[in-house]
């Protein structure tokens, strides 16, 4: 059995982790709550939405902190390595047109019947005004860059 690396036994994280630790803990607790929330009355699709949302928020938070220079490159890499943020999602945010992407599932065209992206990728300007979008995969209301 591999050794269990608890918070106190592992190698200390890079400098500056203390600053963001509280917020990360908050996200962790939120995630735990979302995982333990009852699924009664929810649709099959809806069950995973909060998980996607929280993971998105946390990734966004870490990426923002990095852009604001609140955390060092070293710490940022450490966080990505330790899966505090979704590196693949952040990689997409760096591409033009994907700045607000909600989740990777929504741009996976191979999984849709017509080989298209998710409805939440459609800009608001292209849809009629009253249409309320709630995408199936993560409950996103629209994540086009122009929105």
Q: Cβ of residue 71: shortest distance to another protein, in angstroms?
A: 9
Helical spans, DSSP H, in 43-147: 49-67, 73-81, 87-93
Nearer Cβ to another protein (72/117): 72
Nearer Cβ to another protein (9/43): 9
Q: Cβ of residue 99: shortest distance to another protein, in angstroms?
A: 14
Helical spans, DSSP H, in 1-145: 17-36, 49-67, 73-81, 87-93
Q: Cβ of residue 59: shortest distance to another protein, in angstroms?
A: 12
Q: Cβ of residue 46: shortest distance to another protein, in angstroms?
A: 21
Nearer Cβ to another protein (43/83): 83
Q: What share of the chain is helix, strand, coil (3-state, %, to 5)?
A: 50, 0, 50
Separation between Cα atoms, residue 112 and residue 123, nearest integer Å: 19
Q: Which residues bind another protein (CB under 8 A)?
A: 8-9, 12-13, 17-20, 22-23, 26, 57, 61, 64-65, 68-70
Yes or no: say if 54 and 85 are a contact pair by the CB < 8 Å rule. Answer: no
């Amino acid at each position: 059995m591999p050794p269990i690396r608890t918070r106190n036994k592992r190698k200390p994280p890079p400098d500056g982790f203390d600053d963001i630790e509280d917020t990360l803990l908050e996200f962790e607790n939120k995630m735990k709550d979302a995982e333990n929330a009852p699924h009664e009355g929810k649709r099959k699709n809806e069950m995973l939405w909060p998980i996607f949302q929280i993971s998105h928020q946390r990734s966004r938070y870490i990426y923002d902190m990095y852009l604001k220079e609140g955390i060092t490159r070293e710490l940022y890499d450490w966080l990505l390595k330790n899966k505090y943020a979704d590196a693949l999602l952040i990689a997409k945010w760096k591409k033009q047109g994907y700045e607000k992407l909600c989740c990777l599932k929504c741009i996976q065209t191979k999984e849709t019947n017509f080989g298209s992206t998710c409805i939440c990728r459609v800009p608001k300007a292209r849809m009629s005004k009253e249409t309320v979008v709630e995408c199936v995969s993560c409950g996103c209301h629209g994540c086009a860059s122009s929105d």
